[in-house]
């Protein structure tokens, strides 16, 4: 969950130069190819990217690339699919903002994959899709493998997936990524609810750190999801010939999900802000209550000590000192004063 | 009033798979059918959804379904009315954002039914409408029954309802749901006014919890109503042939109501925020006043005890100690000092 | 200045049912009719609404109705002028948001009349206008009578009023209502300026209540004026045949006034917020200063009492106690310590 | 720098009635006429407005009117130039919001002239321009004389002014007014920077008043400049025949200046807000530090006085009292306790 | 990082008068000329601006001017390239807001160059580009030299630069300036992260100054970048003939970068605000904890001193004083009371 990736390595280079920006997760780059139609589904592991051949018929080809840190692999894709150099640069630079670029013969979509780690952290990975007439390329950073369910559906051949074109495949992949966001939000939602209980029951300085950590995570998720709204909206309204009308209904559904996620993020943000308010005012209330009680105790002893002080004076002519009942009387007065003050403070609800 | 429903059950499933998301309220699913025209009104309880038949003439049919947790029931509707699988999925998933989808041969509207419980809670239920040329389907979670007045009006046959088409029926149903929002707002408004009085009269930590509970409820209502604004606006401007011009006037009226509700929510939110401000500053004012009074008491006794301390010293040569009037004089000085300080503090308005 | 009117009475009723929502101000309903052209001006008090006749020639008729709580009166108007049932419902329901509805053969405008009462309260009344080709209907709650100046101008026949159509009459009426807003804002502005002085000079808990009362009143005025902006803008841009081009210039002038009022409200709101800030910080500053002075006093007596305590000890071998100058010396040391501390605290500006 | 001008004098009057709203600055009204073309420039002081004649040829005439409080002067202009009565009313009412009105045969522009007084106040004056095909009328309140440089340029005949039409003259006048805003902002900017230094070095209650005075002045300037943005933008995009394309470039330049001024105002507002934050937290930090030091002193004397109290007890059997070294021992213990506490508090950085 | 440049020097001057506003950085003005096509690249240092000749063929000429404080140099350019006087004025006035002006035969772009100095300051310089059909003029303040990499690429002849027109050259220059913003943001990001750690570990008044300095720097960067968004968007959508379609893809890429920078600035601003919150609440928590501990100590000694005070009274009849075990008993009671209070306070977590 880093704020920014170092871009300084790119300084002064010609645009379109492929420099990987981000953390390298694995050394190797895995390239998997699916070729399918309603009637068949072939699956290959590509070893040499230059061997890649795109069938010319009406079948759909999906090439999934895990690892974007090798310039030569990206360049091979660029040559084979005639991709724009800026597109390749955006794939290699994992510090992109989610977006949709329309390159006329293909669409380019950049998204963030969010995964909730076991420790409550949010891991982020960039995924880029190139959607052509009869192919889909997906490039990710080789972290979490989200697409296994899609692959099973392709292999199984049930459902709509095998009967539709490349646009529906891209929809299925994007939908999988967006569904993952709900999981992250559920995790955050649970943490916020547990935070709210803790803030009421036992506010501590560490709670403040938790509040701000959650705030930052929400900011982070919002940055990943917010620009997606517009990107998917544009996709669902595009006039492109290989985006079929029936698939656009599905993109509108994904759009609805993204809008709902943005909405939920805003609600969670307001809940975290409310927690901060409650935290601050209950910390202050507690501290003040303690001070009040302590000061009440001090205040009660002031007149008592004063009375003791009076009878500790050494005047020769102090008649009370010679009285047989002087001492009990003094103790009695002290007791009365203390009782009166206690009652008074309790009546005023100061104690 | 849960923030989010668990969606994890859907993870990895093909889109359009019918998985109920939400709480199951009843085991059974109740299906009621009304068929009416200006001259007649039939009412049936449907036992087997597959027996459902839609008349082909110009009468209007309203099928009301209570319970959305049974996939087979929804699938039967989907087949019979050729509903899009995503629409069925949205009906089953009760964690939808209010919206309007235009599927060309029918409209799909999702709304939230809000009910104020006796304990001041807000119960929420999802209701979905499918508006076709000569039919209306309504799917709800089988909680509160709102539509009895509409049914009576249908049976009675008076008013506009029986003389108009399916668009007017959907209007009547949506209007009923929106009228319910006013009731919830009235309840919240009353609670906020009582809160404001309490905040002035007797601010306590529990009041803070109430303030934040109200804030959250308002957030919740806003989330349910805000997206409806756009949905109903689109409905009232739609160019669809089975939405008649005279009915659109009624939809614009509902739109006005929704706008007014949104407005009122904003006002209530500002009132709750003001309550929070007043709460915080009056709590702090009270605590500080208490501390000030206590400290004034302590401060008054300091010089008195000091004087007593002086005449408690054991010097052999302290002439005052031998004076006959030494003791009364000491007491007198103490009294004067105390009176001077009391007057001074009162004059400065510190007491 | 109530937040919401009770709408519960309408629950379950068919739309268009005339139920009065709001307070009834008078029992009777007063209906006045003006019929005028450049050359004449007749004035009648209508006793039976059913007798009302609209002249068919090019004269302008203005019917002013005071009191909207009688359903039969409204229904008679509805029948006579063929008004839409929803329009009548909106007239009877005094909890409307200001708006403009275009019913093609007539316009419907809802506004709020604001009046500053002598006690600084803001009284609100709803006024509705129906603007037809050659007639204007105005419905109000029979509270304050604003339109006397317009009536005099009609009777007098000077100025533009008698030479123009119904559109100019509606302009004159709306302009009168909007001018009233300036008065309310002047009253609020004066109260805010006096508040700002009080907040500086003598901040007290009651001031806080005043601040929040003003905040709420401004919220209230904003709710009444804000939606009017759009309504009057639409009116001034309408393409309707009986809204003449020269009159639109006047509507744009009213629009400018409304925009200025909205602007002034925002400024007043910021001033009230600033007052709250100043109030809070000056209350806190005062309380803290008091505490500081009190604590300084306590702190000065601590070492003095300690010295007295030392010479109050009963050790047999305390040479100072036997010295002839012991007592004056002790007092002298005390005086020096006290003076040193006083100077030190004053030097540090703590006193 | 008054928030609102009294408008009550206009209550109940017919629209277009000329009532001066604002302060009268001078008794007399000064009317100056310039008539110029590329080849000549005549200058007259007009004594009787009714004598004013507008040349029919292609020369440009500029009539500058100082003083808007005389209804007859304005009416004479209205008759001579066929100005709309509402326009005249807007000139007389100096409480206008800046705006552009397009009256087809002429444009009407209202602006505010801001001048920084020597005491740091901001003086405001209203200026209105009427831009016709071959004439410009300017009406101001006869306060500061801004236009002397424009007059010199006209007389001198150098530069573009004499070679262009009335549109360029209006541009030159508006540009002069806008340039004045920069000066006011520079003055405010300097005051804010000096405020920021004071807030750090020596925060006092008076600083708070300064902060809020600056806040209010910025609010005031923003109200004067913000609406101008749209007005000048509309002017620079107008399709009017006597606004020549080359002059529009100049209006766009003024527009850029206004946008920059709005921008700078926002920045200054954020700086003032930051000053408030720093003020509040440094006041609170200072007060708390003082209290902490005072309380540390009190706390150190508590155990010392207690020890003295112990040896002040009058028990018969207290062996220490008879020891020869009892007294020095007691003093020594006290010294040790005091030193230990001082070191401890210093180590904890409490002192 | 000054808020505003002094503009007062321009007061009263005719628009288009060339007055340098800003700091003069060097005395001399350096003018460099590049003329290139795919096949050649000539480089000259121009000594006399009047000797400048623009080739009429299809080669691209780039004239880079370092230093904008000499009016004669700018005027020579103005004459030679027929530049609009307002454009020259904008070049000389270094207090411009970033913008794009379309002068039909050329575009004018103003930007800010931001450089992070070694001390964490942000240096700002204005750069202006004039983009003509076959030439690019760049004017900067002769501070940091950013364009060396572009020059090397031109000389080297590799990459796209030499094969494209003037539009691509301007893209390359703008891209270089925008890349620099990322570096400034990285510097700020690092400083904010180190600030956040310091705020948690050791909050001090100086930290507050750092927070506000960072806030101001972010405000400053935002002012420089925000208007660029719209400028570059307009450039990438322009219909101008010498902006080729393939180059617009590159401008859209720069636009994406600017949007991402704006996004990052907002995130950094929220992080700084969070730091302020944490700072304020941890300072207050610390101060309150200290006070609580001190007050607890005082409170514990109050009853002990009181007991000592009782047995310091001089009553003749106080039996305890004569008991052999009186003194140890008194000490024992004191010990018990102290222990009880300590345990009690610890149990309540007050200590």
Smallest Cβ distance to B7: which of A182, A277, A309?
A: A182
Is residue B303 within 8 angstroms of chain C, CB to CB? yes
Q: Which pLDDT score is estimated for E55? A: 77
E339 or D351, which is more confident: E339
**Is A8 a residue whose pLDDT tops 70?**
no
Chains near E (3 or more Cβ pairs under 8 Å): A, D
- How confident is the model over D245-270, as a mean pLDDT? 92
Count of domains in chain C?
A: 2
Min Cα separation E351/chain D (Å) = 15
**Is E3 a residue whose pLDDT tops 70?**
no
Report pLDDT digits (tens) over B21-31. 877 777 788 89
Interface contacts (C, D; CB < 8 Å): 149
Interface contacts (B, C; CB < 8 Å): 149
Is residue E271 within 8 angstroms of chain A, CB to CB? yes
Report pLDDT digits (tens) over B187-236. 999 999 899 888 877 777 778 888 988 998 998 899 999 999 999 999 99
DSSP tag of C21: B
Smallest Cβ distance to B305: which of C13, C14, C305?
A: C305
Mean residue pLDDT of chain A comes to 87
- Does C123 share its domain with C260? yes
Using CA coordinates, name the residue in chain C closest to B309: C308
Of D226, D257, D281, which residue constitutes the final position of a domain?
Answer: D281
Of B281, B309, B328, which residue constitutes the final position of a domain?
Answer: B281
Min Cα separation E188/chain A (Å) = 11
Is residue E288 within 8 angstroms of chain A, CB to CB? yes
pLDDT band at D325; cut points 50, 70, 90: confident
**Is C231 a residue whose pLDDT tops 90?**
yes
- Does E84 share its domain with E216? yes
Is residue C300 within 8 angstroms of chain D, CB to CB? no
- Does B120 share its domain with B190? yes
Interchain pair D281, E219: CB under 8 A: no
**Is D175 a residue whose pLDDT tops 90?**
yes
Q: Which pLDDT score is estimated for A24? A: 72
Is residue D31 within 8 angstroms of chain E, CB to CB? no
For B236, the 3-state DSSP assignment is helix
Chains near D (3 or more Cβ pairs under 8 Å): C, E
**Residue C300 contacts residue C342 (beta carbons within 8 Å):** yes
User: DSSP letter string over D28-39?
Assistant: S-EEEEEEE-SS
Distance from CA of residue E115 to its chain's centroid? 9
- CA separation, residue D46 to residues D29, D63, D66, D144, D145 (Å): 10, 9, 12, 20, 18
Chain E, residues 101-120, CB within 8 A of chain D, namely 101, 103
Report pLDDT digits (tens) over B63-100. 999 888 888 889 999 999 999 999 999 999 888 899 99
- Does B186 share its domain with B308? no
Question: Facing residues of C122 across strands?
Answer: C116
In a domain, A170, yes or no: yes
Q: Choose from D5, D212, D319, D338 for mutation: most chain C CBs within 10 A.
A: D212
Interchain pair C309, D305: CB under 8 A: yes
Report pLDDT digits (tens) over C125-176. 999 999 999 899 999 987 768 898 899 999 987 778 888 999 999 999 999 9
The encoded tokens of residue D137 equal: 């009328």
Min Cα separation A156/chain E (Å) = 40
Q: What is the pTM of this model?
A: 0.85
Chain E, residues 137-156, CB within 8 A of chain A, namely 148-149, 153
- Does D268 share its domain with D303? no
C38 or E8, which is more confident: C38
Interchain pair A291, B294: CB under 8 A: no
- Residue A133 has φ and ψ, to the nearest 5°, of -60, -50
Q: Which pLDDT score is estimated for B265? A: 93
pLDDT band at B119; cut points 50, 70, 90: confident
Any residues with CB less than 8 A from the CB of A113 and at least 6 apart, and which?
Answer: A124, A125, A126, A127, A140, A143, A144, A146, A177, A180
Q: Which pLDDT score is estimated for B4? A: 65
- Does B91 share its domain with B116? yes
Q: Which pLDDT score is estimated for C116? A: 87
In a domain, D7, yes or no: no
pLDDT band at A1; cut points 50, 70, 90: low
| Residue corresponding to tokens 């000092």 | B337
Q: Which pLDDT score is estimated for B3? A: 60
User: DSSP letter string over A198-264?
Assistant: HHHH---HHHHHHHHHHHHHHHHHHHHHHHHHHHHHHHHH---TTS-HHHHHHHHHHHHHHHHHHHH
- CATH of residue C317: 1.20.58.340
Interchain pair B312, A309: CB under 8 A: yes
Question: Facing residues of B116 across strands?
Answer: B122
- A280: chain E residues, CB-CB within 8 Å: 281
- B270: chain C residues, CB-CB within 8 Å: 215, 219
> What does the angle CA D300 – CA D306 – CA D308 come to, to the nearest 5 degrees?
110
pLDDT band at B167; cut points 50, 70, 90: very high
**What length does chain A have?**
351
- Does C299 share its domain with C178? no
Using CA coordinates, name the residue in chain B closest to A193: B3
Domain range for C27: 16-281
Min Cα separation A92/chain E (Å) = 14
- Does D200 share its domain with D87? yes
- E313: chain D residues, CB-CB within 8 Å: 314
In a domain, B38, yes or no: yes
pLDDT band at E10; cut points 50, 70, 90: low
Interchain pair C331, B310: CB under 8 A: yes
Report pLDDT digits (tens) over E167-220. 999 999 999 999 999 999 999 999 998 998 888 777 877 788 889 889 989 988
- CATH of residue D62: 3.30.460.20
In a domain, E11, yes or no: no
In a domain, B84, yes or no: yes
The span from the CA of A141 to the CA of A93, in Å, is 11
The encoded tokens of residue B39 equal: 């001259």
The span from the CA of D72 to the CA of E2, in Å, is 50
ipTM of the complex: 0.81
In a domain, C8, yes or no: no
Q: Choose from A196, A267, A300, A315 for mutation: most chain B CBs within 10 A.
A: A315
Interchain pair C253, D86: CB under 8 A: yes
Mean residue pLDDT of chain E comes to 87
Question: Of all residues in chain D, what percent carry a pLDDT higher than 90?
Answer: 43
Chain D, residues 191-220, CB within 8 A of chain C, namely 205, 208-209, 212, 215-216, 219
Using CA coordinates, name the residue in chain D closest to E4: D186
pLDDT band at D214; cut points 50, 70, 90: very high
- Does B324 share its domain with B270? no
Interchain pair B263, C4: CB under 8 A: no
**What length does chain D have?**
351
Nearest to C309 by CA among D298, D305, E312, D329: D305
Smallest Cβ distance to A321: which of E200, E288, E315?
A: E315
Of E254, E281, E308, which residue constitutes the final position of a domain?
Answer: E281
Q: Which pLDDT score is estimated for E1? A: 52
The span from the CA of D238 to the CA of D252, in Å, is 11
Report pLDDT digits (tens) over C58-101. 899 999 998 888 888 899 999 999 999 999 999 998 888 999 99
- How confident is the model over D215-240, as a mean pLDDT? 91
pLDDT band at A91; cut points 50, 70, 90: very high
- E284: chain A residues, CB-CB within 8 Å: 284
- Does A263 share its domain with A335? no
Q: Which pLDDT score is estimated for A5? A: 65
- Does C311 share its domain with C254? no
The span from the CA of B138 to the CA of B30, in Å, is 12
Chains near C (3 or more Cβ pairs under 8 Å): B, D
Q: Which pLDDT score is estimated for B335? A: 94
Q: Which pLDDT score is estimated for B112? A: 94
**Residue E93 contacts residue E100 (beta carbons within 8 Å):** no
Interchain pair E186, A4: CB under 8 A: yes
Interchain pair D10, C179: CB under 8 A: yes
- Does D242 share its domain with D93? yes
Is residue C312 within 8 angstroms of chain B, CB to CB? yes
Interface contacts (A, B; CB < 8 Å): 148
DSSP tag of B8: G
Is residue D259 within 8 angstroms of chain E, CB to CB? yes
Is residue A260 within 8 angstroms of chain B, CB to CB? yes
Q: Which pLDDT score is estimated for A33? A: 92
- D348: chain E residues, CB-CB within 8 Å: 290
Min Cα separation E46/chain A (Å) = 25
Is residue A281 within 8 angstroms of chain E, CB to CB? no
Q: Choose from C98, C212, C269 for mutation: most chain B CBs within 10 A.
A: C212
Using CA coordinates, name the residue in chain B closest to C224: B263
- D202: chain E residues, CB-CB within 8 Å: none
In a domain, C273, yes or no: yes
The encoded tokens of residue B198 equal: 């309490």
Interchain pair B313, C330: CB under 8 A: yes
Nearest to A197 by CA among A265, A279, A281: A279
Interchain pair A321, E318: CB under 8 A: no
pLDDT band at E28; cut points 50, 70, 90: confident
In a domain, C171, yes or no: yes
């Amino acid at each position: 969950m880093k704020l920014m990736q170092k871009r300084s390595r790119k300084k002064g280079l010609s645009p379109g130069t492929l420099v990987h920006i981000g953390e390298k997760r694995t050394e190797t780059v895995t390239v998997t190819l699916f070729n399918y139609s309603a009637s068949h589904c072939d699956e290959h592991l590509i070893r040499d990217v230059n061997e890649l051949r795109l069938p010319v018929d009406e079948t759909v080809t999906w090439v999934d690339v895990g690892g974007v840190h090798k310039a030569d692999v990206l360049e091979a894709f660029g040559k084979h699919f005639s991709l724009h150099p800026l597109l390749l640069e955006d794939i290699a630079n994992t510090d992109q903002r989610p977006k949709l670029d329309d390159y006329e013969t293909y669409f380019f979509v950049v998204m963030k994959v969010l995964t909730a780690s076991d420790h409550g952290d949010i891991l982020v990975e960039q995924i880029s899709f190139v959607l052509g007439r009869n192919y889909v390329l997906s490039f990710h950073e080789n972290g979490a493998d989200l697409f296994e369910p899609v692959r099973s559906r392709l292999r199984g051949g049930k459902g709509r997936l095998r009967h539709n074109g490349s646009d529906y495949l891209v929809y299925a992949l994007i939908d999988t990524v967006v569904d993952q966001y709900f999981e992250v939000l559920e995790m955050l939602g649970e943490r916020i609810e547990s935070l709210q209980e803790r803030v009421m029951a036992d506010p501590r300085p560490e709670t403040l750190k938790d509040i701000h950590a959650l705030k930052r995570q929400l900011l982070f998720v919002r940055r990943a999801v917010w620009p997606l709204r517009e990107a998917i909206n544009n996709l669902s309204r595009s006039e492109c010939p290989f985006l079929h009308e029936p698939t656009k209904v599905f993109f509108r559904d994904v759009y609805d999900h993204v809008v709902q996620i943005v909405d939920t993020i805003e609600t969670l943000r307001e809940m975290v802000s409310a927690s901060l308010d409650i935290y601050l005012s209950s910390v202050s209330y507690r501290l003040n209550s303690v001070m009040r009680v302590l000061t009440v105790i001090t205040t009660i002893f002031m007149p008592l000590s004063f009375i003791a002080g009076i009878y500790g004076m050494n005047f020769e002519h102090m008649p009370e000192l010679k009285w047989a009942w002087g001492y009990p009387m003094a103790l009695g007065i002290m007791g009365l004063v203390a009782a009166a003050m206690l009652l008074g403070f309790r009546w005023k609800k100061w104690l």
